[in-house]
Amino acid sequence: MSLSAALKSGDVTLLPGKRDEDWKWTDLRGLLRVLPATAPALDLAGLAEGPFDALADQRHVVAGGHENVAIDVPAGSERAVALRVLSRDGGALAGKVTINVGPGAKLRLLESYEGDASAYVTDTAIIFVLEAGAAVERVVLAADGAEGVNVSQAQVTLSPGSEYSQTVITNGARRQRIETQVTHPGAEAKLRLDGLYLLEDKRHADLTTVVLHQGVDGATDQFTRGVVRDQARGIFQGRIVVEEGADRTEARMRHNALILSDKAEIDAKPELLIFADDVQCAHGNTIGALDEEALFYMRQRGLPEAEARALLIEAFVGAVADRIGFEPVRDIARAWAADRLRA
Amino acid sequence: MLHIENLRAEVDGKEILKGLSLDVPAGEVHAIMGPNGAGKSTLSYVLTGRSGYDVTGGTATLDGEDLLALDPSERAAKGVFLSFQYPLEIPGVPALTFIRTSMNAQRKARGEAEITAPAFLKLAREHAAALKIDFEMLKRALNVGFSGGEKKRMEIFQMAMLAPRFLILDETDSGLDIDALKIVSEGVNAMRSPDRGMLVITHYQRLLDYIKPDKVHVLAGGRIAATGGPDLALELEREGYDKYARAA
């Protein structure tokens, strides 16, 4: 069951839905009665700049007529790549991106999902392979339209001594899922998986991650925060599996969310499945409203209520953005989040 | 300065203040003492406009202006400052950022220009030094992970920075050791001035050895049960609140 299989065959019964445990909160089968026609080829000439183009030395686009992208970073080299996935005109798009990062190479991948106001359906599969000692920092800015359906699934394979850091920032879509699956060999490889969702109206965002720790001496640090208002729905599914023998694994998972209206919803499923003996693993999950006592304290010092709320929420959200390593990207992420919060 | 007349207030439908009247003229420091549950903290919250503290009668004015009609932030801009018994943690907001944002919000509400960054930092360095606060601490999220004593010191620091016209200190001595109590009291005393009033709420007389009040009031049963000079505090320390609690 997958969106890509359904798009390929046109068979809606292949869509994942409520009956699939991992998709029960992001039901595509119940949502899509028919699949749209394949998106026509997009003319890339005269395309406006993407959010990260100025920071990249290579630019790639996934769009109608441009479904496949391959990014290769040779051993020992460094690249900053902007990858844009453009969803337009109510079309169906099935994109495929393969990324190889050679031994000791470094990739900064700045990825954006840019959807228009139409009822498009987009599926993107991204395959990352990191060779020994390779490093990837991936920042995803998902700016979908309110009527769009967007699924992005990344499969990441780490090698010994490699390092993969990811920050996903999204304001959701009609249905949106951004999924990351990581095969972690241990062996001093380091993984950071962060996420931030800021949802309003009837938007939906699903951040799902699965990490398989397969060897000794691996580290995973996961930090996701969300803010939902109106009738929006945020979903966090995080699973870390520490397989037998993957001793001395250090894994940390945190998810904190703020619900700012009675009709908004958060569904969270943090899972640590540990089959090794000697591990340090922890997870924390909190969902709540803004601290009214803190708000009163701030107002007593002279901050009008709206300003006090905004300051607390921006600080809450900023904690995730602060972990982005490269400052210009961090600034873009912070500004984008601030715009969504003030909207 | 502060004029309270026949003030009545309830919390969760239960009347806590039952016709409290009090005058604190400019330039004076008044202490409010009383047994637990007498309504001391309720008075501080009613004056600052905390939700859940409903005024059912009476008035409270600052220099003739009705405080009770104003939003908490408007009262702050008028110069009312409450030093909290339990200061709140503000995650992710550095102390200096918080104070500067508050200061500028107050200035904006009063139609004044914002403070410049250099002027703000100069002021912050001066007051931090006087209160023996490590400047690095001011770059950390306000009160997050601070000890009880550090939080109280931070309240006095904010008070010094914001320079309010009327100060309410709610159990400022709780959680302070003697050294910290001295520093905090010196900070408060430095703010005494002919155009500023203070209300010092405390359960124990100890704080009043350091911050000398002009008048002492006993709050019991939701009213001012007695008023006297500094000697009254000593008498309460000796004899307890029993006779006032019974009379109420």
Q: Say how far apart CA B237 and CA B224 lie, in whole Å.
A: 17
Chain A residues 171-200 with CB within 8 Å of chain B? none
Residue B85: closest CA among chain A residues belongs to which residue?
A297
Residue B68 is predicted with a pLDDT of 96
Residue B248 is predicted with a pLDDT of 58
Q: What's the gap in Å between the CA of A174 and the closest CA on chain B?
A: 31
Q: Please, are residues A317 and A170 in contact by the beta-carbon 8 Å criterion?
A: no
Question: Which of A293, A300, A311 shows the shortest C-beta gap to B93?
Answer: A311
Question: Which of A294, A301, A307 shows the shortest C-beta gap to B76?
Answer: A301
CA distances from A208 to A158, A196, B59, B80 (A): 18, 12, 56, 48
Chain A residues 262-301 with CB within 8 Å of chain B? 291-294, 296-301
A304 vs B51: CB contact, 8 Å cut-off?
no
Q: What's the gap in Å between the CA of A322 and the closest CA on chain B?
A: 11
Question: Which residues of B are less than 8 Å from A296 in CB distance?
Answer: 50-51, 72
Domain count, chain B: 1
Buried b (16+ CB within 10 A) or exposed e, A112-122: bbbbeeeebbb
Residue B35 is predicted with a pLDDT of 84
**What is the helix (H) or strand (E) element at residue A289, kind and residue range?**
none
B90 vs A298: CB contact, 8 Å cut-off?
yes
B73 vs A302: CB contact, 8 Å cut-off?
yes
* Beta sheet of B65-66, edge-to-edge order: B14-24, B2-11, B53-62, B65-66
Q: What is the pLDDT of residues A90-136, one digit of tens each?
A: 999 999 999 999 999 999 999 999 999 999 999 999 999 999 999 99
pLDDT tens for the 343 residues of chain A, in order:
899 999 999 999 999 999 999 999 999 999 999 999 999 999 999 899 999 999 999 999 999 999 999 999 999 999 999 999 999 999 999 999 999 999 999 999 999 999 999 999 999 999 999 999 999 999 999 999 999 999 999 999 999 999 999 999 999 999 999 999 999 999 999 999 999 999 999 999 999 999 999 999 999 999 999 999 999 999 999 999 999 999 999 999 999 999 999 999 999 999 999 999 999 999 999 999 999 999 999 999 999 999 999 999 999 999 999 999 999 999 999 999 888 887 6
Question: Which of A94, A91, A102, A88 is closest to A130 using CA atoms?
Answer: A102
- The residue range of the domain holding B203 is 2-247
A299 vs B71: CB contact, 8 Å cut-off?
yes
Residue A343 is predicted with a pLDDT of 60
Question: Which of A293, A296, A307 shows the shortest C-beta gap to B72?
Answer: A296
Q: What is the pLDDT of residues A279-311, one digit of tens each?
A: 999 999 999 999 999 999 999 999 999 999 999
Question: Which residues of A are less than 8 Å from B48 in CB distance?
Answer: 300
Question: Which of A297, A302, A319 shows the shortest C-beta gap to B88?
Answer: A297
Beta bridge partners of B116: none
Q: What's the gap in Å between the CA of A176 and the closest CA on chain B?
A: 29
Q: Determine the distance from the C-alpha atom of residue A316 to the mean position of all C-alpha atoms in its chain, rounded to a whole number.
A: 18
A301 vs B98: CB contact, 8 Å cut-off?
yes
A312 at B interface, C-beta within 8 A: yes
Residue B107: closest CA among chain A residues belongs to which residue?
A302
A contact test, residue of B93, B154, B157 with most A CBs within 10 A: B93
Question: Which of B49, B76, B141 shows the shortest C-beta gap to A302?
Answer: B76
Q: pTM here?
A: 0.86
Burial of B84: CB neighbours in 10 Å, binned 0-12, 13-18, 19+: buried
| DSSP helix/strand/coil, A148 | coil
Q: What's the gap in Å between the CA of B126 and the closest CA on chain A?
A: 20
Cβ contacts of residue A294 below 8 Å, gap of 6+?
A312, B88, B89, B90
Q: Say how far apart CA B134 and CA A60 lie, in whole Å.
A: 50
Question: Which residues of B are less than 8 Å from A256 in CB distance?
Answer: none
A294 vs B88: CB contact, 8 Å cut-off?
yes
Q: Determine the distance from the C-alpha atom of residue A141 to the mean position of all C-alpha atoms in its chain, rounded to a whole number.
A: 8
Number of Cβ within 10 Å of residue A189's Cβ equals 26
A294 vs B48: CB contact, 8 Å cut-off?
no
Question: Which of A136, A7, A142, A27 is closest to A67 using CA atoms?
Answer: A7
Residue A172 DSSP code: -
B153 HSE (CA, 13 A, CB side)? 24
Question: Which of A293, A303, A318 shows the shortest C-beta gap to B88?
Answer: A293
Residue A305: closest CA among chain B residues belongs to which residue?
B73
The two three-digit tokens of residue A239, written as one number: 């699973």
The domain that holds B135 is classified in CATH as: 3.40.50.300
Residue B163: closest CA among chain A residues belongs to which residue?
A301
Strand ranges for A189-322 from DSSP E:
190-199, 204-213, 219-228, 233-242, 249-259, 265-274, 279-288
pLDDT tens for the 248 residues of chain B, in order:
999 999 999 999 999 999 999 999 999 999 999 888 889 999 999 999 999 999 999 999 999 999 999 999 999 999 999 999 999 999 999 999 999 999 999 999 999 999 999 999 999 999 999 988 999 999 999 999 998 889 999 999 999 999 999 999 998 888 788 888 888 899 899 999 999 999 999 988 888 989 999 999 999 989 999 999 988 888 888 888 887 876 65
Question: Which residues of A are less than 8 Å from B71 in CB distance?
Answer: 299, 304-305
B102 vs A319: CB contact, 8 Å cut-off?
no
* Amino acid found at A263: K
Residue B63 is predicted with a pLDDT of 95
